[in-house]
């Protein structure tokens, strides 16, 4: 069991860097034909092959991890998102979020800078999702006659107006796929406002009540003290009992 | 009194499953003519009868509960929403929210997973309200000449842009009924942002100040300790008084 | 000084009901010509006179309060909003917010139902502001050629899309006055989201950490306990000292 | 080292007022040609020279501070924003935020009025950013044929609909520069909602749990009390030991 855990950890350490590079390669191969529709047909074909190749790499990695995992059922349950990204090729752009995970492993700071971490990972995730959503919407909408989004600049501008929930309505998706991508951005927008608000609220609360320097007494502190007093009473009871036997029966500390 | 409480509980247990099925049946009978306006006239008539039949079932259930309730006034006051849904047939689609209540009864987790519960019930309620609001707006708007919302896909897309407060303005209701449904979605949108933010804020605060492992001492802890010390003093006072009577008068613990 | 305070309080008690009625009368006289532009010219004139008469009543009330106040400078500073509403006749509709103050005086519940109070006053204030903003925008926009808001229903619908920050853009003000009213609604919308979120966050935090039943020990509790122990030690020191004089000098509780 | 710190502080004190005046002068010289496009060509030239002159003043100030700083690397790292504003002339309007810093130095209240401070600086920063963003967008858009924003009133109205995330879509930027300014306003809008919400949430939480009057017992309090009890036990042990030697060995307080 521990042997397998070690094997799994060793595998994850080994493939971490290659897979991150693969995900960046995927991003390039996926984005290039979208950004340059007039690209040479042979190059476009290469890009398609590269996206499938990197997808195969991730599938192999996932299967190897399942095989090496000591408890396969638990592994699959805790890595459900990975399975979905592998199983539904349409979600492949999400593989780029792997970069956030790597960033997290490189710099795992203490909880003292928790807010800093949330800000850093939140910002990086936001930029990745904005770029990927812009590319996806540009790809899906460019095939439609009534579409208003024709350039990457337009798509990124649309993604920004959407994620901030401003929604001018100068640009909006009209295809089912584009609307599906937009719905994910809506959710992200609401969550983004929630994260920004939560982080600021936590910061404001701390500044308003700066009682962090002396932590409040814990239950454990008071219980240790109560034990101390109980022993003291037992000692006193013994003293009372000694001179004669007519003293009151010592209160047994059976509470 | 307890007899009636038992009767009420037994009734609620018995009708829980049939009424949930009835609410799902209502949803189908209500949604079908909206989604398929070219439906056979006789089938449409059947759907109308089914919606009224399920409404009658809910009315009977409500009246039976009022009759069985030990304190009828208190029951009516605490089930005011049920009364309104029964009394105003236009609100009948809200009966589908009964599914959330059933979900709640099936899986009542401890308060440790409170945030998980809020996420689960919030998501299910959101999906139900989005689908029902889309159907209602489609139904209300399709009868108007200037309406822009003509398909369920459009209606759901409109509901999503509304509940996230993005509001592109490519689609919006123009009838009074459609605007009333939209206003409910506005409220839900603001509450949704509030719930997401509150849950994230609570999570962030917990991660920033991870003091949850040792709870702070409660007033009860300190009072128990104070009582312990008071008894100790009484015991000591007795000891002091015994050897002679010239000792200082024992401090009575009358504080 | 106390005499004046009593006089001021007596005045405020006396005029509370008449001024609330006056503010409701103002609302009717202000709203009528806006909602019914085809109103008889003489009736319109009556309405104008009523709005100025109620304004005069509020001005007299304010001046009387200033005269009766024990500390006039402090009174003016703490009632700055009242002064602005009196001084700028364009803000007179805000006088209707007096109803909220009366509601507050009638039912001042304990802080246990603080969240209930915030919900109640928030809802009442929101409805009043929405109705007044709709009337004001309808009044200001109806005089402009390019305006899109022509009926009260349109104005209320616009106010709802604005306060929820949805902002479809089907209706929007084009006059400077209408835009000023809209800007106040923007602020209210952001504050509304803040209040809803804050209330929900407070509720979620309480449910996630249900430690509200036993309040934590206060510093006062622990200090009372420490005093108790100190007296106990003094008593013990006396006991130790009595049998002979060779005992250790009693620790004076001078800490 | 301390000598340099004193020199740096003296320099900062001396130039604080002149630089604030310079930033206000910059604002006038920058805004004038934008607000009055028909301005005399010679006056426009003067304005351009004034903006560059004030920029030079800020650059000189920054360089002097770097030279005087005891630890130059640390100074540059903690004043990165200043460097960016100096290095990228397009960001020069941000120099006006210096006014907020001066306001902060003039009135540094205690943390008791933290919420008041956040409200004050938040409001001042919001107004400055709104005015500057309006001017910048008006400047950038007025050079484009398809632009809809032509007057300062329009630009300010657009900035207000944007920062509140309402986004009607009656006005929106179409140039790359205008969209960049808008993106900054989006971020500010989300942060604004976060700050308002956080402040209100902190206020609501305090009102719901009004335990601020008696601070909870700190760990230090309980430890002082434990020490007190320990000394008491040592005293009692001594007393027990004295009359004979058959007593139980005193519990050494080595815990």
What does the DSSP 8-state code read for residue B111? G
Query: Measured on CA atoms in the order D53, D58, D60, D61, is the torsion positive or negative?
Result: positive
Pick from D222, D247, D252 the residue to mutate for testing the A interface (most A CBs within 10 Å). Answer: D222
Q: How distant is the Cα of D45 from the closest Cα of chain B, in angstroms?
A: 42
> Taking 50 as the threshold, does the pLDDT of residue D111 lie above it?
no
Is the minimum CB–CB distance between A36 and chain D shorter than 8 Å? no
Pick from A123, A153, A192, A204 the residue to mutate for testing the D interface (most D CBs within 10 Å). Answer: A204
- At residue A202, the pLDDT reads 78
> Taking 60 as the threshold, does the pLDDT of residue B251 lie above it?
no
DSSP-assigned beta bridge partners for residue C216: B218
- At residue A148, the pLDDT reads 87
- At residue A3, the pLDDT reads 67
Which residues on C lie below 8 Å from A168 (Cβ)?
169
- At residue D213, the pLDDT reads 41
> Residues C174, C144: contact at Cβ < 8 Å?
yes
Q: Which residue of A has its CA nearest to C226?
A: A225
Q: What percent of chain D has pLDDT over 70?
A: 80
DSSP-assigned beta bridge partners for residue A218: B216
- Determine the average pLDDT of the residues in D143-165: 90
Task: Summarize pLDDT for D166-187 with one digit per residue, the tens.
Answer: 999 999 999 998 999 999 899 8
**A164 and D176 in contact by Cβ < 8 A?**
no
DSSP-assigned beta bridge partners for residue B216: A218
Give me A41's structure tokens.
Answer: 């047909």
Q: Report the residue from A211, A224, A231 with minimal CB separation from D251.
A: A231
Query: Measured on CA atoms in the order A221, A224, A229, A232, is the torsion positive or negative?
Result: negative
| Interfacial A residues in 106-135 facing B (CB < 8 Å) | 111, 114-115, 118
| Interfacial D residues in 174-213 facing B (CB < 8 Å) | 197, 201
Task: Summarize pLDDT for A186-223 with one digit per residue, the tens.
Answer: 988 888 888 888 888 877 777 666 544 445 566 666 77
- Indicate the domain borders of chain C: 1-101, 109-216, 220-255
Q: Which residue of D has its CA nearest to C194?
A: D197
Q: What is the dihedral of CA A116, A122, A128, A132, to 10 degrees?
A: -170
> Taking 90 as the threshold, does the pLDDT of residue D103 lie above it?
no
- At residue C251, the pLDDT reads 46
* Residue A135 pLDDT grade (very low, low, confident, very high; cuts 50, 70, 90): very high
What is the rounded CA–CA span in Å between residue B11 and residue B2?
14
* Residue B208 pLDDT grade (very low, low, confident, very high; cuts 50, 70, 90): low
- At residue D104, the pLDDT reads 63
Q: What is the DSSP string of B135-152?
A: HHHHHHHTTSTT----SH
Q: Report the residue from B196, B208, B242 with minimal CB separation from A194.
A: B196
> Taking 50 as the threshold, does the pLDDT of residue A254 lie above it?
no
**B225 and A220 in contact by Cβ < 8 A?**
no
- At residue C135, the pLDDT reads 92
- At residue B9, the pLDDT reads 85
> Taking 90 as the threshold, does the pLDDT of residue B152 lie above it?
yes
Q: Which residues of A25-63 are buried (b: 16+ CB within 10 A; e: fewer)?
A: ebbebbbebbeeeeeeeeebeebeebbeebbebbeebbe
Question: Which residues, at least 6 apart from A164, have a Cβ–Cβ distance to it below 8 Å?
Answer: A189, A192, D165, D186, D187, D189, D190
Q: What percent of chain B has pLDDT over 70?
A: 80
Q: Which residue of A has its CA nearest to D219?
A: A217
Task: Summarize pLDDT for B77-119 with one digit per residue, the tens.
Answer: 888 888 888 888 777 777 777 777 766 666 554 444 667 777 7
Chains with ≥3 CB–CB distances under 8 Å to C: A, B, D
> Residues B239, C239: contact at Cβ < 8 Å?
yes
Q: How distant is the Cα of D217 from the closest Cα of chain B, in angstroms?
A: 8
> Taking 60 as the threshold, does the pLDDT of residue D125 lie above it?
yes
CATH class of the structural domain A109-212: mainly alpha
* Residue C110 pLDDT grade (very low, low, confident, very high; cuts 50, 70, 90): very low
Architecture of domain C109-216: Orthogonal Bundle (1.10)
Q: Tell me if the domain spanning B109-211 has CATH number 3.30.420.40.
A: no
* Residue B24 pLDDT grade (very low, low, confident, very high; cuts 50, 70, 90): confident
> Taking 80 as the threshold, does the pLDDT of residue A237 lie above it?
no
- At residue C168, the pLDDT reads 92
Which residues on B lie below 8 Å from D219 (Cβ)?
none
Is the minimum CB–CB distance between D238 and chain C shorter than 8 Å? yes
Q: How distant is the Cα of B203 from the closest Cα of chain C, in angstroms?
A: 9
- Determine the average pLDDT of the residues in D137-156: 89
**B225 and C225 in contact by Cβ < 8 A?**
yes
Instruction: Of C198, C205, C190, C209, give the one whose Cα is nearest residue C118.
Output: C198
Is the minimum CB–CB distance between A235 and chain B shorter than 8 Å? no
Task: Summarize pLDDT for B113-123 with one digit per residue, the tens.
Answer: 667 777 778 88
**A187 and B203 in contact by Cβ < 8 A?**
no
Pick from C197, C200, C206, C210 the residue to mutate for testing the D interface (most D CBs within 10 Å). Answer: C197
> Taking 60 as the threshold, does the pLDDT of residue D248 lie above it?
no
**Picking from A121-135, B154-168, C221-235, D184-198, which range would have the lowest pLDDT averaged per residue?**
C221-235
| Interfacial C residues in 147-176 facing B (CB < 8 Å) | 153, 157, 160-161, 163-170
| Interfacial D residues in 210-229 facing C (CB < 8 Å) | 210-211, 214-218, 221-222, 224-225, 228-229
Q: What percent of chain C has pLDDT over 70?
A: 80
- At residue B240, the pLDDT reads 67
Q: Is D88 left (phi over 0), alpha (psi -120 to 50) or beta?
A: beta
Task: Summarize pLDDT for A20-62 with one digit per residue, the tens.
Answer: 888 889 889 989 988 888 888 899 999 999 988 998 998 999 9
Q: Which residues of A126-148 are buried (b: 16+ CB within 10 A; e: fewer)?
A: eebbbbbbbbbbbbbbbeeeebe
Q: Report the residue from D169, D197, D216 with minimal CB separation from B169.
A: D169
């Amino acid at each position: 069991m521990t042997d397998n855990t070690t094997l799994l950890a060793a595998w994850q350490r080994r493939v971490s860097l290659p897979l991150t590079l693969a995900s960046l390669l995927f991003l390039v191969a996926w984005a290039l034909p979208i950004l340059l529709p007039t690209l040479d047909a042979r190059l476009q074909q290469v890009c398609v092959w590269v996206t499938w190749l990197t997808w195969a790499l991730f599938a192999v990695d996932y299967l190897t991890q399942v095989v090496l995992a000591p408890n396969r059922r638990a592994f699959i349950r805790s890595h459900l998102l990975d399975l979905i990204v592998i199983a539904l090729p349409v979600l492949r752009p999400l593989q780029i979020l792997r970069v956030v995970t790597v960033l997290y492993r490189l710099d795992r700071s203490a909880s003292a800078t928790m807010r800093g971490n949330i800000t850093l990972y939140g910002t990086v995730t936001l930029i990745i999702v904005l770029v990927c959503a812009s590319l996806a919407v540009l790809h899906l909408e460019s095939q439609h006659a009534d579409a208003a989004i024709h350039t990457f600049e337009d798509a990124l501008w649309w993604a920004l107006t959407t994620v901030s929930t401003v929604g001018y309505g100068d640009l909006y998706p009209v295809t089912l796929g584009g609307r599906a991508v937009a719905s994910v951005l809506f959710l992200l927008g609401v969550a983004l406002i929630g994260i920004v608000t939560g982080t600021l609220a936590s910061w404001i609360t701390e500044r308003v009540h700066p009682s962090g320097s002396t932590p409040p007494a814990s239950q454990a502190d008071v219980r240790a003290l109560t034990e101390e007093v109980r022993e003291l009473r037992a000692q006193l009871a013994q003293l009372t009992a000694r001179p004669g036997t007519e003293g009151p029966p010592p209160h047994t500390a059976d509470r």
